């Protein structure tokens, strides 16, 4: 039994979240990933808090995205370091890089430069704001993209300043798109024999996540208006007084959320022990319920306040309703579906108890029995020697490189 990317060789020049995550998605599915880290502290994720002081540069952030890789420490700024990079390029099928626009070319590891060395190379380039345009060379991160994409403004609590989230959804979407694009390019390569460049960027990935709110269409029998002025799919849910809320506090202070698909009102009410409400002929229609949202809200609030949220969740689920307690992040570990489907896994990491991590988020039946996590996260430069030997350097050459501080 093999993994789909068995035999595919990847060189990664990435730091922090999105880039390493993309390379990890490839590694999880069988690719052999060599992570090239700069001198000093390597991938800056190694320094992010919470970190583990005696662990040789293993922080929680680093452990999240770097299992299944080997690490080589290399100073690509030096000519001999660049030479090693070129050798790695000849070895590789794929390169994943997240650097500021312009930096790879200055270093000599831009796509055009490396495609000359290896025309079969698939080069996944991940930037913040795209590679064209007046601000292409600005630094960018997930959080500032929240401001730029409009998401921060939408999430703003009423009458309060905006807040940012550190959940990094845009980084993650960017990583997933980079992995998909890489896979598509590898498939294309089977037909054409050639590699190509794959480009993704944070801003594009972020607006993809709310593509539905960005789409605009005007029938030809109406006046055209600029997209910003055209009707849009809603980005904020309505609440009282015009819409019946679907989140209620329960007796234990926890909240329950449920969905109200059309036609389920009588069943829903019966599950709550509110038969009369469910049978009320004037409330069978969603619009009618919204018109009396405050009144119904009061009835439901009183009812939900009589039991803990988890009990209501069980009752509603037993009636085939869509419902969930509004959970804390950490409660996910005990979710019976998470457990049954192995969505969380652990892996061995030298010096640690098992590391708990998200399992590879795609299941492929032909390799379902194969372990996805085959290596722990590497310490900085842990495999430099080994890899250089595999690339054909002699021991003497390696000693020389080390002496010239090419290897850190």
Secondary structure element (H or E) that encloses residue 390, with its range: helix 384-390
Length of the chain: 408
Give the residue among 29, 31, 65, 71 at the shortest CA–CA distance from 45: 65
The count of residues interacting with another protein (CB under 8 A) is 157
Classify residue 186 as exposed, middle or buried by CB count within 10 Å of its CB (0-12, 13-18, 19+).
Answer: buried
Q: Whole-angstrom Cα distance, residue 318 to residue 35?
A: 49
Sequence-distant (6+) residues with CB within 8 A of 56 are 351, 379, 380
Rounded least distance, CB 212 to another protein, Å: 5
Among the residue ranges 33-41, 74-82, 175-183, 400-408, the one whose residues contact another protein (CB under 8 A): 175-183
Among positions 17, 34, 36, 85, the unique one binding another protein when judged by CB under 8 A: 17
C-alpha to C-alpha distance for 76 and 37, rounded to whole angstroms: 9
Cβ closer to another protein: 286 or 400?
A: 286
Nearer to another protein, 213 or 397 (CB): 213
Beta bridge partners of 249: 255
Residue appearing with tokens 């993994």: 3
Min CB(392)–another protein separation in Å = 28
Give the integer Cα–Cα distance in Å for 101 and 220.
Answer: 41
Could you say whether residue 76 binds another protein (CB under 8 A)?
A: no
Options 73-81, 153-161, 271-279, 292-300: segment touching another protein (CB under 8 A): 153-161
Q: What is the CA radius of gyration of the chain?
A: 26
Least separation in angstroms between CB 323 and another protein: 7
Q: Which of residues 325-344 bind another protein (CB under 8 A)?
A: 325-333, 335-341, 343-344
Which CB atom, from 143 or from 299, has the smaller least distance to another protein? 143
Of 268-276, 290-298, 348-356, 397-405, the segment contacting another protein by CB under 8 A is: 348-356
Residue with tokens 């010239």: 404
Residue 101 binds another protein (CB under 8 A) = no
Quote the CA–CA distance of 109 and 192 in Å, as a whole number: 23
Least distance between another protein and beta carbon 242 (Å): 14
State which residue, 314 or 398, has the beta carbon closest to another protein: 314
Q: Which of 119, 275, 295, 322 binds another protein (CB under 8 A)?
A: 322
Are 408 and 85 in contact by the 8 Å Cβ rule? The answer is no
In this complex, which beta carbon is closest to another protein, that of residue 288 or of residue 338? 338
Would you say 66 and 48 are in contact if contact means Cβ atoms under 8 Å apart? no
Least distance CB 244 / another protein (angstroms): 13
| Residues in 42-71 that interact with another protein by CB under 8 A | 48-50, 52, 54-55, 58, 60-61, 63-65
| 302 touches 308 (CB < 8 A) | no
Among 248, 237, 227, 345, which residue's Cα sits nearest to residue 298? Answer: 248
Q: For the CB of residue 275, give the shortest distance to another protein in the complex, in Å.
A: 23
Sites for another protein among residues 232-291 (CB under 8 A) = 232-237, 239, 245-247, 249, 255, 257-259
> DSSP letter at 118?
-
| Residue 105 or 395 having the CB closest to another protein | 105
As measured in angstroms, the least distance from the Cβ of 67 to another protein is: 10
SS (H, E, C) 37-96: ECCCCCCHHHHCCCEECCCCCEEHHHHHHCCCEEEEECCCCCHHHHHHHHHHHHHCCEEE
Least distance to another protein, CB of residue 283, Å: 21
Looking at the Cβ atoms of 156 and 279, the one nearer to another protein is 156
């Amino acid at each position: 039994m093999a993994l789909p990317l068995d035999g595919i060789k990847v060189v990664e020049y990435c730091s922090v979240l999105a880039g390493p995550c993309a390379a990890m998605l490839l590694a999880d599915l069988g690719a052999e990933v060599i992570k090239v880290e700069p001198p000093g502290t390597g991938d800056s994720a190694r320094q992010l808090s919470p970190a583990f002081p005696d662990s040789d540069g293993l922080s929680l952030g680093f452990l999240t995205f770097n299992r299944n890789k080997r690490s080589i420490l290399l100073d690509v700024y030096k000519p001999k370091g660049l030479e090693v990079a070129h050798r790695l390029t000849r070895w590789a099928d794929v390169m994943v890089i997240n650097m500021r626009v312009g930096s790879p070319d200055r270093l000599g590891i831009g796509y055009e430069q490396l495609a000359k060395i290896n025309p079969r190379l698939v080069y996944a380039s991940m930037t913040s704001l795209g590679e064209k345009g007046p601000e292409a060379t600005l630094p960018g991160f997930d959080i500032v993209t929240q401001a730029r994409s409009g998401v921060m403004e939408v999430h703003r609590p009423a009458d309060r300043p905006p807040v940012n989230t550190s959940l990094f959804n845009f980084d993650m979407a960017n990583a997933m798109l980079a992995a998909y694009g890489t896979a598509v390019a590898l498939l294309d390569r089977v037909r054409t024999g050639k590699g190509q460049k794959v480009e993704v960027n944070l801003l594009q990935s972020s607006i993809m996540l709310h593509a539905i709110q960005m789409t605009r269409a005007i029938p030809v029998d109406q006046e055209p208006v600029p997209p910003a002025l055209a009707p849009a799919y809603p980005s904020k849910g309505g609440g009282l007084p015009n819409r019946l809320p679907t989140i209620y506090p329960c007796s234990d202070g926890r909240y329950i959320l449920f969905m109200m698909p059309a036609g389920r009102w009588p069943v829903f009410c019966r599950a709550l022990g509110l038969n009369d409400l469910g049978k009320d002929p004037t409330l069978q229609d969603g619009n009618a319920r919204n018109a009396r949202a405050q009144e119904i809200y009061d009835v439901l609030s009183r009812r939900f306040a009589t039991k803990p949220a988890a009990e209501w969740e069980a009752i509603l689920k037993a009636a085939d309703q869509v419902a969930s307690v509004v959970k804390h992040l950490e409660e996910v570990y005990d979710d019976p579906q998470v457990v049954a489907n192995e969505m969380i896994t652990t892996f061995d990491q030298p010096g640690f108890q098992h590391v708990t991590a998200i399992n590879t988020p795609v299941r492929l039946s032909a390799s379902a029995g194969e372990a996805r996590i085959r290596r722990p996260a590497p310490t900085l430069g842990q495999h430099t020697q080994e890899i250089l030997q595999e690339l054909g350097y002699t021991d003497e050459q390696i000693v020389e490189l080390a002496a010239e501080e090419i290897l850190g």
